[in-house]
Amino acid sequence: MMAATSRAALRGILREEEPMARHTTWRVGGPAQRFYEPADSADLAALLQTLPADEPLFWLGMGSNLLVRDGGIRGTVIHTTNRLAALDRLDGDRIRVGAGVPCAKVARFCARERLTGAEFLAGIPGTMGGALKMNAGAFGGETWPLVAEVESVERSGVCHRRTAADYRIGYRCVRGPEEEWFTTAILQLRSGDTEQGQQRIRQLLQRRAATQPTGQANAGSVFRNPPGDYAARLIEAAGLKGACVGGACVSPKHANFIINTGGATAADIEALIEQVAATVLERHGVALQREVHIVGERRR
């Protein structure tokens, strides 16, 4: 991976053969060959400068919206949660937030600062880095309409500052420069009332708890909603609520969620995802697109 002298200069935490089941919300996944938690953005840039050009890299936040296969991940996983952790109020109703800050924390911070527009982030079980990567949304809100600027780092460790104009933004999809990753965002919000913001967050969380299996291991919505319809409606209409493969089951509470009932493998979950997609295509003629990212190698 890197020379011993280069490794000694780093300030973060490096582990080898780290079980990814410890770091994913489905609680499954084989080991990461190397797992690095940077001390800060400068340490992250220093790490990148030590890596070979062909070193496989994978960036990890809170592990939601993600299925890591049972064979694990080759190369280096960079874990940013609570590591790239800047969260500051700026002038002009703006905030600066690091890629490793949980979205729910951003929502609460904005409410305390009498800023409105970020309440929906309370319903996203991931970090700002992941929200930026996929234009995450909940309860009618989406991430990128709030973005004024982003800071990013490329594979060589060189940092950039960019605006939304440098990216193509779509539904759960963001396209930008290759081999470049978000480290910080500047969000533009509106002045508001603290109590109203906190009340809105409470209402959204109550709605989420009432409609989603929040108390069970899941990764969020498995499929994107097709144009003019809902993936959950199609899955339920296909008779798949409660369908299981091993320890993985379609949630009886919300059909677009797959839960680990205990003892599920990544292979169980992936097989169930494929079964759901095939059945919906057969019954409704709709090809569902995955929202969940599947990475890593199958167990041999």
pLDDT digits (tens, 9 = 90+) for 119-142: 999 989 899 999 999 999 888 899
Which listed residue (200, 221, 251, 270) is catalytic? Answer: 221
172 in catalytic set:
yes
Which listed residue (113, 180, 270, 291) is catalytic? Answer: 291
Q: Percentage of the chain with pLDDT > 70?
A: 97
Q: To 5 degrees, how large is the angle CA 296–CA 170–CA 143?
A: 85
Confidence of residue 8 (pLDDT cuts 50, 70, 90): low
Residue 295's nearest CA partner among 270, 278, 277, 276 is 270
pLDDT at site 37: 96
pLDDT at 69 over 90: yes
Per residue in 260-274, pLDDT (tens digit) is 999 999 999 999 999
Per residue in 24-64, pLDDT (tens digit) is 999 999 999 999 999 998 999 999 999 998 999 999 999 99
Q: Which pTM does this prediction carry?
A: 0.90
pLDDT at 7 over 80: no
User: Which domains, ranges and CATH numbers included, belong to the chain?
Assistant: 4-79 (3.30.43.10), 87-211 (3.30.465.10), 231-295 (3.90.78.10)
pLDDT at site 5: 42
251 in catalytic set:
no
How far from 273 is each of 26, 71, 134, 211, 267, CA to CA, in Å? 13, 18, 20, 20, 10
221 in catalytic set:
yes
Which listed residue (94, 114, 172, 233) is catalytic? Answer: 172
Whether 213 contacts 253, CB under 8 Å: yes
- Please provide the average confidence, as pLDDT, over all residues in the chain: 94
